Structure 1
């Protein structure tokens, strides 16, 4: 049975989060996994915005995790990774690390390396289990092809997916800045990424989440929560439920569960710490018509129509959805 812990965090300091990890992580995973020589941490740095906005993973959480790993295995090399973000303007990982305070980690810890996935050497992974990338193979930075992978996501809404958490965080492991090309096929792409990367530890930063126009343009929502699990689907199922979202209405979560990447039924998950009903708060979201129009705009791209026609329809559906927010 997968395990997910819901932990209240009134003190957001690095020291307090470190003590939480010391108490809880051994109840969720076997800390011996960190005896490996290579650890990869993927935060959510989807914009050059501080964690207080609700958009990005709080650097104090990642630093506390680094300290915890170093206590177990001080000789491990810890890679903190991110790729280009394109929101009309391309933000490089160097800029994202600088604006969110992550650049200090490399200065404080000699065994921490910040990695720009978009400018790293690549490997093409061919695996019979791939779906979207079955023919072309999945291109990933070499640093991602081995080691213990840890995903440290953010508790947020997504106008395209209702919810974004652990599974969606791995979208940032694609090196290209043109990730929008994958949006019409997002469920298959995300399940491929998580099938290959296999997060061994999943942490959702719910200290300050985001509601409304997530994942970057919404409003911060203080939750004072950490959500920690040993499976990405189960952790996201609990995260979505905490936000008042039925995980079975999140398309990529359903796809991941169908692909047997984890458990989506909250009743089949061992929830430690706080009870879900005691921390659950409804996150504001766009209206259902706008959401369905956005979903339709992606579906159109998959239709057997001339490329110019389907992109014309998709663009106008997208613009109509935005007008109705």
Structure 2
């Protein structure tokens, strides 16, 4: 049986996070356990909906410290930024330290090869030792759309648990990879920061969308199933979620707190203009992914060219207007 809790955010974040954990039946198992929190720090900026909110992380740690003092926050290097750059620039490192947690870069840890139980595609995968040695993995994800995977929720956040700098090359296998990652790591707690999500051209260049929601589950697959429904998507048509359900079944599913229909708000899917199509194609081809994404000079040139082309089509003008309408005080240069 899988349990998902849905709590509306009204102001008292620590109490609401505690309620979400309690409704999901996850508070009792925290006593004196070591907890490692995998945040979503995909950029060195604190743009609403783009990364885990520092205030959300801090409030969660404050709740956890009532049960355990052994709390670690982690992220891994990306092709454009080190984990330290992203954690410091986004404010997540400061939030974690102020709340009394340790912060580590998974890319600096020793990796251990692990056999995947009931593999969907990959028989073995390598993971950083701290993830495997902690009593509880807490998957703290954002609520975003994504160019390649339709949504970026709990399962997609686990992609960052593979600390290879060139993991962008694995994007072409992403729908088969994520179920196997989840099968090994099996987060005991999946906690979604849905206070401000991101719609449109996510996971980075989208539009902030205020949802005022906190979701929590004992199953990362169940969390993604319910969250994608809230966002207006059919999870059975999202490949990585459908694949994960085959190896990590979620039925019977119990939902506590606010009903899905009461909190549903349709998210605009990722853009399908020429630039987005080319980006998808580049990430699905190993040679192009290596050439574009692992060469900083080439990547900057391609990104600059892409946005100049979007200027000509009117996309950028509409994007600026949408950012203003979001009410989150975000400028286009905060994002791109």
| 1:80 aligns with one of 61, 64, 73 | 73
Partner of 1:236: 224
CA distance in 2, matches of 1:117, 1:27: 31
Matched, 1:47 2:43: yes
- Is the alpha carbon distance of 1:233 and 1:309 closer, same or farther for their aligned partners in structure 2, counting shifts above 3 Å? closer
| Cα displacement string for residues 215-246 of structure 1 (whole angstroms, at most 9, x for unaligned residues) | 00101111111111221111111111111111
- Please identify runs of 4+ aligned residues in structure 1 that moved more than 4 A: 287-296, 298-301, 307-312, 322-325
The gaps in structure 2 that reach 5 residues or longer are 292-304, 316-336
Partner of 1:278: 262
Partner of 2:119: 130
The answer to whether the 8 A contact 1:184-1:298 is kept is: no
CA distance in 1, matches of 2:52, 2:288: 39
- Is the alpha carbon distance of 1:288 and 1:125 closer, same or farther for their aligned partners in structure 2, counting shifts above 3 Å? same
After TM superposition, the score normalised by the length of structure 2 is 0.79
The answer to whether the 8 A contact 1:195-1:261 is kept is: no
CA distance in 1, matches of 2:9, 2:20: 13
- Is the alpha carbon distance of 1:5 and 1:294 closer, same or farther for their aligned partners in structure 2, counting shifts above 3 Å? farther
The gaps in structure 1 that reach 5 residues or longer are 302-306, 313-318
- Is the alpha carbon distance of 1:190 and 1:60 closer, same or farther for their aligned partners in structure 2, counting shifts above 3 Å? same
Task: Count the aligned residue pairs.
Answer: 296
Shift of 1:127: 3.9
| 2:88 aligns with one of 98, 109, 123 | 98
Partner of 2:164: 176
- Give the match's secondary structure for 1:258: helix
The answer to whether the 8 A contact 1:160-1:291 is kept is: no
Output aligned runs, 1:119-158, within 5 Å.
119-134=108-123, 137-146=124-133, 147-158=135-146
For the aligned residues, what is the CA RMSD? 2.9
| 1:38 aligns with one of 34, 38, 44 | 34
Matched, 1:4 2:4: yes
